A and B are shown apart, each in its own frame.
Chain A
């Protein structure tokens, strides 16, 4: 029990004292997972919308694949991205393994199916009559898709929250493709594993509290946008 109290005290001390390493780890986690979320939105929203509106043979299979992908194990993604980015791998020429960019790639792969899946559900939640009405009123197909996406934007905020929440707290892929390198690719979660391994439980607890606070703040901001518009 005192360990927990010590942890809270340590967290407060690390933050208030402006511990440079902790702040830079926090910032890196935010940048990496933020970038990966943006990329997954850029890829996932069009894909999800297309999948929701289009009808083609094998669609059921693709939708099932996306839904399974929403639970893609990070360590599996980490393993395959690592092998792709190895010097001897097909993308070895990029030389991005063990850099933040590698973590962004892996996390974007993890978050994309989540965004596709939630976008798909959100767009399908918009009544079919709404789409037909738009087309009847003379909207082009692109305009129709845009209006449908606007209509589905509140449920789609859930995609942002689920995607970001999933990857900022993810550890397997970050560890494998980033390497947990001090000052370069050490994120909140990989630092936590390291500090636990070192026996520095107070620091590990402090980092967990920071992670929880960060996830809460981001979700709070998104939720307040969602709820304001929903009223």
Chain B
């Protein structure tokens, strides 16, 4: 009965629902920034064509991407929260974590710069000044990679941010930038999303270049023991594809034609220690 219902559904949907055999589907759980930047739209079709596998990209916050993978609801994960990732690797939920690329976070703020951040080189010191001035700061507040980094920076600054000047948007980077712009507030953003929004917002880059603002992306395979039906082989092929020289070359030039600069720097084969 259920099978028949699904068959009818399939027929109703016609060609738009390719009836893929289980093993030919790879579920990639990843952060929104890789999708919002358009990088995956370039890479995934290449992978699919080369391997004949079909990729389902589930773009969510890094926290959720890892949580899904730990339940066996994904086959491979591309994330950007090294500390959190290492915890999952230590628990045996994720395997074979390898660096893929990096870009950086920037501290943005209104041109008037009420907390006087301009010229500051250290991100933690910048946050300390924002808190001291009681200037508005908009946080993602969604356990994403960017939010995780922001919390680490507050910790490094030795502070616990609190309302009323600390605002949690609970939304993606784009929406958060909009709120910060509207409220003339400071915020932390990944450079790729910021570049996509420069036309729409007046916020300026006030702090950049601190090693604490480095944004490392890694690929991890999902342990097949996490749940039934994990496509471990497919996940491994996608991870290897992300690290292949050809793919890395594409990553290194992605964004140049749209923004005049590359959005990511490929770093396959390097280690976390080199970036500390």
Interface positions of A (Cβ within 8 A of B)? 24, 27-28, 31-32, 34-35, 38, 86-88, 92, 94-101, 104-105, 179-182, 184, 194, 196-199, 201
B59 contacts across to A, CB distance below 8 A: 180
Cα distance, A184 to B27, chains bound together (Å): 13
A199 to B71, CA, bound (A): 32
Which of B9, B58, B228: most chain A Cβ within 10 A?
Answer: B9
Q: What are the residues of chain A within 8 A of B227 when measuring CB–CB?
A: 87-88
Determine the residue in chain B with the shortest Cβ distance to A197.
Answer: B174
Seen from chain B, the residues whose Cβ lies within 8 Å of a Cβ on chain A are 2, 6, 9-10, 12-14, 16-18, 22, 25, 27, 32, 35-36, 38, 41, 44, 56-59, 71-73, 172-175, 193, 196-197, 199-200, 227-230
State whether B71 touches A86 (Cβ < 8 A).
Answer: yes
CA of A94 to CA of B228 in the docked complex: distance in angstroms?
Answer: 12
A30 CA to B81 CA in the complex, in Å?
38
B174 A98 Cβ-Cβ under 8 A: no
- Name the distance in Å between A7's Cβ and chain B's nearest Cβ: 13
Q: Contacting B16 at CB < 8 Å: which of A27, A96, A182, A201?
A: A27
Residues from chain B with a CB closer than 8 A to the CB of A98 are: 27, 56, 58
Given contacts A87-B229, A87-B230, 7 further A-B contacts (CB under 8 A): A179-B56, A184-B16, A194-B36, A196-B174, A197-B32, A197-B172, A199-B197
Find chain B residues with CB under 8 A from A95 CB: 22, 25, 229
- A-B pair count, CB < 8 Å, reads 85
B73: A residues at CB distance < 8 A: 86-88, 97
Give Cα A100 to B15, complex, Å.
11
B173 lies within 8 A of A197 (CB): yes
Minimum C-beta distance from A83 to chain B (A): 10
Q: How far is the CA of A177 from the CA of B53 in the complex (A)?
A: 21
Q: Which residue of B lies closest to A181 (CB)?
A: B56
B58-A197 in contact (CB<8A): no
A85, closest chain B residue (CB): B73
By a CB distance below 8 angstroms, the chain B residues around A28 are 16
- In this complex, what residue of B is CB-closest to A97? B73
**Shortest distance from the beta carbon of B100 to any chain A beta carbon, whole Å:** 20
Docked complex Cα distance between A97 and B32 (Å): 19
Known: A87-B227, A87-B229, A104-B9. A198 touches B174 (CB 8 A): yes
Q: How far is the CA of A35 from the CA of B25 in the complex (A)?
A: 24
Question: For residue B228, which residues in chain A have a CB less than 8 angstroms away from its CB?
Answer: 87-88, 92
A27 proximity list for chain B (CB < 8 A): 16
Residues on the A chain within 8 Å of B229, using CB: 87, 92, 95
Q: Which residues of A contact B36 (CB under 8 A)?
A: 194, 197-198
Instruction: List the B residue with the shortest CB-CB distance to A87.
Output: B229
Partner of A201, one of B2, B13, B58, B200: B200
* Residues of B with C-beta under 8 A to A34: 12
Most buried by A among B2, B56, B229, B230: B56
Is B6 touching A94 in the complex (CB atoms < 8 A)? Answer: yes
Q: Which residues of A contact B199 (CB under 8 A)?
A: 199
- How many Å from the CB of A90 to the closest CB on chain B? 12
Which of chain A's residues have a CB closer than 8 A to the CB of B173?
197
Report how far A180 CA is from B174 CA in the complex, Å. Answer: 17
Select from chain B the residue with minimum beta-carbon distance to A95.
B22
Most buried by B among A28, A87, A96: A87
Please list the 3 inter-chain residue pairs (A to B) with the smallest Cβ-Cβ separation, ordered nearest first: A197-B174, A35-B12, A88-B227
What are the residues of chain A within 8 A of B9 when measuring CB–CB? 35, 101, 104-105
Shortest beta-carbon distance, B216 to chain A, in Å? 22
Write out the residue numbers on chain A whose beta carbons fall within 8 Å of the beta carbon of B25. 95
Q: Give the CA-CA distance A104 to B6 in the complex, in Å.
A: 10
Which of B18, B38, B174 gathers most chain A CB within 10 Å?
B174
A31 near B41 (CB under 8 angstroms)? no
Partner of A197, one of B27, B44, B175, B230: B175
Q: How far is A85 from B73 in the complex, measured between Cα atoms in Å? A: 10
Shortest A12–chain B CB gap in Å is 21
Closest to A32 in B: B13
Q: A87-B229, A88-B228, A180-B59 are contacts. A100–B35 as well, Cβ < 8 Å?
A: no
Q: Which of chain B's residues have a CB closer than 8 A to the CB of A86?
A: 71, 73
